Amino acid sequence: MWLQLIIIPLIGALIGWVTNVLAIKLIFRPFKPVKIPLTPWSIQGLIPKRQNEIAVNIGKVVENELISMEEILQEVNNESRRDQVVDWIAVAVQQRVQRRLPGILPQSVKGIINGMLDDVIRKEAAHVLEGLTGNISAELMNEIKVEHLVEEKLKQFDLKQLENLVLGIASTELKHIEVLGAILGFFIGLAQVGIFQFIK
């Protein structure tokens, strides 16, 4: 009686622990399909088997819920950044022109030339950049999708590397799941003993 009371819960705990360990392993392993002998079935880890589907779904979530190409281009094309580019162009052109102006020109004349040049460059550069970024943005919007970029990267991601990454981050939680399986198995075994004794 007492031996049965101890052994059955312990067996239940062992079964619960082993079941959860296998379930965790089967998230990634095996990477490639392995045929089960004498059956038409094969076994493969959940993530390797559905890697393409997972990649497609994550790509859609990133594009639709997190960040889209339109948002990236809006950030790149905002007015403050465009002004920074115009400033850089104006300074670079002025420096080059200054070096090429004849040395005999009075400094006041050089200052007037630079001032006029600065006005022209800033107006024209801002206008050109605005049109250019608009055209580039339209082309990029049509040709590049964040969804597809994320999808392709995930499809090419090394499964062993991904497994190590997940296990490294969630190792404590996964251990808790294994222990929880043993605890549940123990109590299920204990309940079975109680039921058997009640039936008797």
What pLDDT, in 10s, does the model give residues 49-95?
888 888 888 888 887 777 776 776 666 666 677 777 778 777 877 77
What pTM value is reported for the model? 0.58
What's the confidence (pLDDT) of residue 136? 67
What is residue 134's predicted lDDT score, i.e. its pLDDT? 63
Enumerate the β-bridge partners of residue 42.
35
Among 7-21, 42-56, 150-164, the range of highest mean pLDDT: 7-21
**Domain assignments of the chain as residue spans, ordered by start:** 2-199
Bridge partners (DSSP) listed for residue 35: 42
Class of residue 185 by CB neighbours under 10 A (exposed 0-12, middle 13-18, buried 19+): buried
CB atoms near residue 16 (< 10 Å): 22
Q: Is the peptide bond before 30 cis (omega within 30 degrees of 0)?
A: yes
The answer on pLDDT for 188 being more than 80 is yes
pLDDT of residue 17: 95
